[in-house]
Structure 1
Amino acid sequence: MSNSNHIETITPILKNYLVEPYFVEDFGSVLKIYSNKGNFALKKIDPRTGTDFIRHVHLLYQKGYNRIVPIYPTMDGRYAVLHNDYLYYLMPWMSNEQKEDRQQKNHQLFRELARLHTLSAKEIEMNKEERTEHYEKTIQQHEKQQEFLDGFIDECEKKTYMSPFELLYCLYYNEVSQALKFSKTKFEEWYENTKDNEKARMVITHGKLSSEHFLYDDKGYGFFINFENSRYGSPIHDLLPYLSRALNTNPKRSDTAIDWVYNYFKYFPFRADEKLLFYSYLALPIPIIQVAESYYRKSRPKNELKYVRQLQHRYWHLKNSEYVVMRMTEMDAQAAAAAAAKEGAQPQ
């Protein structure tokens, strides 16, 4: 769309803010507006998203958390404008010039996320029946997944000539199975620890945590954007997808990812039960099981090369996640042993 068309489209929206656009740059769902009142970002969203997230942003501001790019109100006090079947909201434009390397940026992102979680944390009443139901459903899923893994390897091993995918699956089977068992054990420990708890800790989660949604102003301070999926939930919901994406690489021992998490824990320490749940979900080998299921269900002809590559990549993801989980559980055990030794050494 040309600049003049953009200006034509957005002028009626910006009138609500008494802003006159001179020039527009298109960045997909965000437009950069050059105007009589400075530079702005105009974000377009699906109305079905709703504007609940604005309530969360305001709540965080009220609690003293100001590392969110502010959303400007219109002259009549609305925080979004409905125009041609879309919702629009206006923010200041962030220069986002990185004055530090990616590692530094991730450290700042996790520190700010921990502050956001700390300031919004609250205890929520938990229904014991619901918790038990969630537990039973999850264990049932684990058992179904294990059944599939076992059934598929039996079928592969009956063949005189296995396909390349089946051969590779047999090679990985033990490790996938172990990861699933580890995840299930941690989940069972979590349930044992929490089944009598009447409350659980909830925070405002960002909902779409990404380094692309953490921008810098011209002073070098980092701010979150894109809060449209924010809601009250477990802090784990922010950490897991971010880590999972970061670990979706070639094989590597990601001490960097462990650093990020411990940097976060420094400002928002997880309780013992939250850690168990975190480890259970991080170790869960869902992606590799999904590839095996997809291959098993697909009728011939199958694209062996495509499936073998997928299986290999998901295996690397599993191994990368395994390293992080094992290293962190090891560090926890060392810290607990040191604390116990220190306590034992103190005079009674």
Structure 2
Amino acid sequence: MKRIGVLTSGGDAPGMNAAIRAVVRKGIFHNLEVFGIYQGYTGLINGHIEKLELGSVGDIVHRGGTILRSARCPEFKTPEGQQKGVEQLRKHGIDGLVVIGGDGSYRGAKALTELGFPCIGVPGTIDNDIPGTEFTIGFDTALNTVIDAIDKIRDTASSHERTFIIEVMGRDAGDLALWAGLAGGAETIVIPEEPFNMDEIIERLKNGQKRDKKHSIIVVAEGVMSGTEFAKLIQKECDIEVRVSVLGHIQRGGSPTATDRVLASRLGARAVELLIEGKGGRAVGIEKNQLVDYDIIEALGRKHQLDLNMYKLSKELSI
């Protein structure tokens, strides 16, 4: 192993830059040449590849987004696109690749692995939906962004005695909604993993009114339905004034928290160690604050498990 590459793919997540920095500096520490691949798998196919030095990753540990940028790449889903990617890696003499991203990024790494090219996956997504790791890079920062928004919205909700629906990201996973709702004291949390009972939600809102509750906060994961659609369901059933806040892409941006910076640094460095050890087709993660690695193909066959005990607790505390 003399040359390694690193790319970021899919949706950006705070802490990706810290992971890139760790890969580059860990690689150089072990006398490897490290190449950055810009614009994800699109850049790989097009050969947008440059050698990175120590200074290339200076002053980025605190920055959100990704200096390598990201792009969707339908072409890489085809055998022809994957073969082009392998050819570019070999053209640049790259022996192994670190892929930072979510589920779709891992599928690309899986394809390269099956073509005989060693790849290591590093989980970078605010959704926290990658099997094999308790936390993904970017989740903690996005969570704190959502909680900050909930705290601010509650001030207005209380002042005007209204119910606010806050729509957060999470197409297939409700971790962000669940953690933010529990930490933010939401009365109702709606997630993809569990069916919701509208009668129960309406009853909770009415009970709040009876005891002179000044406001209510409902957190809805986008994977269930839009906040606007959910508001219509509530207003169809009862005469409650509802406002909707869609947090959108604000959840992806911002300087990463200390937790995400440390997690990204540890995972990025471990990915390089695995390549040096001659291992490929693996993904890194964290469990009980210990670094782990596992088969990337096997991981994609598993489903992320949300902590339903936390969901139960949120309902018990919102009576």
What band does the TM-score fall into relative to the shorter chain? under 0.3
TM, length-normalised to structure 2: 0.23
* Larger helix proportion of the pair: 1
Larger Rg: 1
TM, length-normalised to structure 1: 0.21
